[in-house]
Structure 1
């Protein structure tokens, strides 16, 4: 079996700030997706439709993305 090549070619390693940004972006994407699922189910179960549904869903998705992204960024910063 051949040896695994280095992921970072030519000695480039991302800085701690880059890792924190990537952690935030990854957490924000996961938070947006989970906020869309859970917020969508909650809004539909409350009987919201149309503009009310989209408004409520958008708020839940932004809150979930921001919260989870912040926690992922903090966790990544601790690991640096």
Structure 2
């Protein structure tokens, strides 16, 4: 579906996917609705329905965890 005439090895291993094929795969409507990893974050975290106190990201995990611990009164840990 995403590659014309793929070899059997390519179908079995799946480790030679091009960026264009990857983009086509994740923008396919079927994959977007069945695999939560490719859904918009707004469909997963409900930003309008939950009053978040902190929004974190992996790149600042240590700093964010420190902030959480301080907010709940156990920053000394």
Taking structure 1 as the reference length, the TM-score comes to 0.23
Indicate the structure with greater helix content.
1
Please tell me whether Structure 1 or Structure 2 has the larger radius of gyration of its CA atoms: 2
